[in-house]
Amino acid sequence: MRKLFEQLVRFGIVGAIAFIIDVGIMNLLIILVHFNNVLAGAISFLISLAFNYLASMKFVFKHRSDMARWMEITVFLISSVIGLGINELILWAGTAMLPADAIHSMHGKYVLYSNAAKIVATVVVAIWNFIIRKWLLDAPASGQPAKEGSLSHRLGAWSLTHRPFGWN
């Protein structure tokens, strides 16, 4: 339980930094460039995702020795695309009740609603990310064998014997 708590703390620190990157870029795009919040949110999410992957795999989750890197990246990207979809849906819902021209006619309220929606989206996506990455990407505890029948082990074992596009 202590290890899980420490991992959650590391996940929170990495997530907080990624959140600052994400919200900072989103707000710059909405406030300065007047981008729609969904477009700004997608761009900022993808930029913060690069940081999140590098930091998560270095400081939060341990690489599974029974999984090839290409599979690790694939699982991370697929779970992130789902997270992006959740993020975009919540951002859209956060301003859907405002008039279509709210980005110009009600700019302050539009920014406020976008940021409130972003906070909700961040919490929901963070929960999704932790659960899916813990389940599929995190190595077993030190000295513990991988659970032979688990999906993560089967995916990993398959990835070690198969290469995408015939890569060596």
CB 120 within 8 A of CB 41: no
With 60 as the cut, is the pLDDT of residue 168 above it?
Answer: no
- Local structure of residue 65 (DSSP, 8 states): T
CA 60 → CA 4, 14, 157, distances in Å? 10, 8, 22
Higher-pLDDT residue of 75, 91: 91
Mean pLDDT for the chain? 89
pLDDT at residue 4, as a whole number: 83
Return the minimum-mean-pLDDT range out of 43-57, 58-72, 74-88: 58-72
CA atoms of 123 and 121, how far apart (whole Å):
6
Which two three-digit tokens encode residue 88? 């975009």
CB 155 within 8 A of CB 75: yes
> Model-level pTM?
0.79
Nearest CA to 128 among 81, 92, 93? 81
